[in-house]
Amino acid sequence: MEHRSPGNSQFESVTAEGEGKGVAGTAGWNLKNSYARLPAEFYTTAAPTVVRAPKLVVLNAAVARLLGLEPTLLNTVEQVACLDGNQLLPGSTPLAQAYAGHQFGGFTMLGDGRAILLGEQQTPSGALMDVQLKGAGQTAYSRRGDGRASLGPMLREYIISHAMYALGIPTTLSLAVVATGEPVYRNQVEPGAVLTRIAASHLRVGTFQYAATRQEVPILRALADYTIHRHFPQIKDPSNPYLELLRMVTERQAALVAQWMLVGFIHGVMNTDNVSIAGETIDYGPCAFMNGYDPGTVYSSIDHQGRYAYQNQPAICQWNLARFAETLIPLLHDDTDQAIVLATEVIRQFPDIYQQNWLSGMRRKLGMLDIQSDDQSLVDQLLDWMNRHQADFTNTFRDLTMDRCQAAVYDDAQFQHWLSRWKHHLAVAGIAWNKAQAMMQQSNPAVIPRNYRVEEALSAAVEHQDLEPLNRLLTALSKPYEESPANQPYRQPPSDGDVGYCTYCGT
């Protein structure tokens, strides 16, 4: 799917206190079931579990329109019943997808343990978008889990995917969150919920790993051909389309992770089952945005060794792609040794592709319209200063954008030297400030989902059934590249610098 460019998002959300009446199927649903035509090894049929007292909590009108749906018609008893699993959407063939994955480096067989794919909505543009219910009940892959989800983590995914889309970063989308009216038992009793997740597809590196474990080339080929047909129809070379598939997935992932790094996003659980073949950010469990710049930042409670720390994300992405390449070996060449050579050549290109994307993004963040030999050192010097002083990642770049580096942290000899060098760099290149600033304003967000603001909104919604903080946060995040008095509170870093802040998977 196409993603809106930074600064032009009209992402909007509406919260619901109740539902009206309507007729199921009139909202514009047009489901297809292409994934269900893959070999049966890739899924099991699975019906959503009926819930007791569904109540629509939040609905994203912009996502609905993107899908060709009428938002006002989704806010009905019958349509909400489809979004919580009590009633199937017309044309739905519900199933749970099978996949495997390296989780923190260890390989295991997995699958949708609490998610059910209803089908693929054909949008007005003709694209297919997966419609998945997350928290819809037990499946064949639940591994003794209850298959349910709690309200807090589902609202967190809604918030962060909302923010990522508005930032212009490829992401799965959240159409709605429905409270189930039933308890979910984790460390404590929590209210249950179902998230309707929208994705270009839920094909993962782990899907290919699962296929590879079958050791049946026809099954692997069927998956690869389906992937090419759905996501990479531009592949024209019939001599080795699977090598081109590897190359394109590598390029998309390199670009994606570079975009994460440019806004201080830390995914937190970059297992191979969370690497989307379509190049979208998927699974927002223990994710967070960095405040003070520290390359070693880790927020996830389960990442004890810092495997998925901010600074490690590019290398981990390359490692994950190497696992993807391994699955394609039987398709790349009849001679295994030659296939390995071909795959290795592509994976070795990852650091250069990532670096090109990252440095290009940093140039935009600093208004450098041309390419000069000292660009890298200029960026490195700034990041070194930010690290030494734990300067806020988002606000530092925004302050440079708005030419307002007057805070006490900037009264530092190292920073002042860098500032002079940067301005000299722009002057030598003949870059007018108004042109540099225009680029920077579209590249440096004023608003990100600050962790403490996310927690504030979640606490109000879950513990007090108060949706106002959530609404205000979503409104601020909808236009992250704009500054206004209304979003000023959302631009402030936490007073404690996020010391001790920890995120959880929320399973």
Q: Which of 259, 287, 322 lies closest to 105 in space, CA to CA?
A: 322
Q: Which of 391, 365, 375, 376 lies closest to 295 in space, CA to CA?
A: 391
Task: State yes or no: is 337 an active-site residue.
Answer: no
How many Cβ atoms from other residues are within 10 Å of residue 373's Cβ? 6
Half-sphere exposure of residue 273: CA atoms within 13 angstroms, side-chain side: 19
Alpha helices (H) in 215-312, listed in sequence order: 217-231, 241-263
Phi-psi region of 268 (alpha: psi -120 to 50; beta: other; left: phi over 0): left
Main-chain phi, psi angles of 131, to 5 degrees = -115, 110
Joined together, the tokens standing for residue 444 give 């440096």
Q: Which of 102, 346, 352, 350 lies closest to 246 in space, CA to CA?
A: 346
Dist CA 453 CA 122 (whole Å) = 35
Dist CA 281 CA 169 (whole Å) = 8
Half-sphere exposure of residue 438: CA atoms within 13 angstroms, side-chain side: 6
Q: Which of 273, 283, 303, 392 is catalytic?
A: 273
Tell me which residues are annotated as active site: 273
